[in-house]
Homo-oligomer: A and B are copies of this chain.
Amino acid sequence: MPKITLDKTDRKILAILQQDGRLSNQDIADKVSLSPSPCLRRIKRLEEAGVIRQYVALLDPAQIGLGLLAYVNVRLEKHSEGGLASSPHAAFAKAVDGWPEVVACYAMTGEMDYLLRVHVEDMEHFSRFMMKTLLTHPAVADVKSSFALTRIKDTTALPLV
């Protein structure tokens, strides 16, 4: 992934696309005071350099029946019984990938190893996910869950430095 330098116009384009990924090239060109061709060239360059990773539609969790958002801290077993090759961390990462209710998972500093963001319908589904999936995984030693009460802010738009 080649590194790239961004000028003011690039950053303006990125800010716009972070708010509305479906704007036409012409509209973007207008907003940054450029004609369509150079604007499109810049966008393509940003896509090819990987600055723009993906275009997506964001859904409303409530509207598709996902009424409960949980953050789950996970600590794994310390000892790697099968040596490094079959480390519990690699196995856990692979398992997480296959759990659709887990939308994000980061290895973290601190006393817990991982932080998971989990979307489910309700507490009953969460309970089932814990019992049948997370706590059943052999690498998991300990978990601590918190539940979202109110969304103050949640955006995919990164600050442009």
Interface of A toward B, CB cutoff 8 Å: 1, 3-4, 6, 14, 17-22, 49-61, 63-66, 69, 71, 93, 96-97, 100-110, 112, 114-115, 119, 121, 146-161
Contact = CB atoms under 8 A, between A and B. Distances in A.
Contacts of A103: 153-159
Nearest to A59: B158
Contact of A63 (B50, B148, B152, B156): B50
Number of copies of this chain in the oligomer? 2
Contacts of A112: 146
A71 B20 CA distance: 26
A75 to B, nearest CB: 13
Given A14-B64, A63-B3, A150 B55 contact: no
